[in-house]
A and B are shown apart, each in its own frame.
Chain A
Amino acid sequence: MYNDKESQKIVDIIQNYARKHSLFILAYGTGCGAIEIPPTMTSRYDAERFGIRGAATPRQADVLLITGYLATKSLKRVIKVYEQMQDPKYVIGFGSCTINGGMYWDSYNTINVLDKYIPVDVNINGCMPRPEAVIAGFVKLQKQIQEGKADGWDKYKKNLDYYKENQKKIITNWVMPDFNW
């Protein structure tokens, strides 16, 4: 029955509906943006009414928030974490640093465009984005999930060579295992 195209569509709708209302964020803070997460989570802005809450380990999490600038040193950890997360997984680039480098665009140890290293589903602009903006970004992600368009994880698998090439350009001493699905 599930091989039938029409019924698969219905299953997808139900699956996506469930997914979009239970977004678990990995508790991993990079840069200064991590300080905006506590007010987003707590009673003032209460992100849990959208089904957004924290998760302790990468394997339990759905969303990886890159909160602010990413040093080359922590890019290594981010890649490690991202590859440990289970499908489907989503990445939110948070703040201008992940979009074009922000105020650290000419720093020797921060990357400028996050999208070249791991696939980003939603970018939130601002330096720093307020909790309202964060929630707006999450709502946009939920919309994408419902429409089935948040397929960064699929892109990563299909274009693994491209992403690996970019990552290894920066991480010269690659001591991690090479993932291949």
Chain B
Amino acid sequence: MSENNLHNEQKLLNLLEKKFILKGGSVRRERRVEVKVEPKEIVPVLLYAKENSGYTAFTHMSCVDWIEDGEFEVVYILWHPEEKINFFVKTRVSRDNGTLPNIDFIWRQANTYEREIREMFGIQFEGLVGREEFILEDWEHMPPMRRDFDTAKFVEKTYFYRPGREDAKDVREYVQERTDEELPDFAKKYSRD
């Protein structure tokens, strides 16, 4: 792939680098641009991408739990309908009491994603409207998508177990046995045994 093909991608990155303070940015490949920003820069960057650069479609918003760094990474994914480019905006917040700006005044559908992230990870969004309870009903434990939520232990405690499934083990242990690969420390810490 020649450099010229990435012209549109590079143009967006150059514009953003001039306008905002980015923590990092790169053209990952054709049709994929990625920038990393501070939480307070989220709204300006997204607004700029929507109003000035033509990234009008809000495709998705997801969350990654980086328990080793004590941070959540929230990823906003935008789409340019004409140039057909995916634009990833990544930001990181603290795992405990992390707060992000609410963006549902830019795209209304972001409200749904934000409510899901609030319920599944426990990140708060400033001024987010909508019931605290979204999908889970009467949930009174730790947000279940956090990596330190031990599902196997929870299931053992809550549900019944029919004998005959004793072979069910953590997949990572099988991988270790087969490939002699060392488990990383965080995986050992949150391993099921």
A155 close to chain B: CB less than 8 A: no
Is there an interface contact between B160 and A108, defined as CB atoms closer than 8 Å? no
B149 close to chain A: CB less than 8 A: yes
Contact surface of A with B, Cβ cutoff 8 Å: 72-73, 76, 99-101, 105-109, 111-113, 116, 166, 169-173
Is there an interface contact between A172 and B140, defined as CB atoms closer than 8 Å? yes
B186 close to chain A: CB less than 8 A: no
What's the minimum C-beta distance from B189 to chain A, rounded to whole angstroms? 18
Using CB atoms, name the residue of chain A closest to B170: A106
In the assembled complex, the Cα of A99 lies from the Cα of B165 at a distance in Å of 11
What's the minimum C-beta distance from B163 to chain A, rounded to whole angstroms? 9
Stretch at the interface among B41-49, B54-62, B151-159: B151-159
Is there an interface contact between B138 and A107, defined as CB atoms closer than 8 Å? no
Is there an interface contact between A106 and B155, defined as CB atoms closer than 8 Å? yes
Using CB atoms, name the residue of chain B closest to A74: B137
Is there an interface contact between B164 and A108, defined as CB atoms closer than 8 Å? no
Is there an interface contact between B138 and A113, defined as CB atoms closer than 8 Å? no
Contact of B155 among A76, A108, A171 (CB under 8 A): A108
Is there an interface contact between A100 and B162, defined as CB atoms closer than 8 Å? yes
In the assembled complex, 9 residue pairs joining A and B whose CB atoms fall closer than 8 Å, in A order, are A73-B136, A73-B137, A100-B164, A100-B165, A111-B159, A112-B155, A112-B159, A112-B160, A170-B158
In the assembled complex, the Cα of A109 lies from the Cα of B168 at a distance in Å of 18
Is there an interface contact between A107 and B155, defined as CB atoms closer than 8 Å? yes
Question: In the complex where A72-B137, A172-B138 touch, is A108 in contact with B144 (Cβ < 8 A)?
Answer: yes
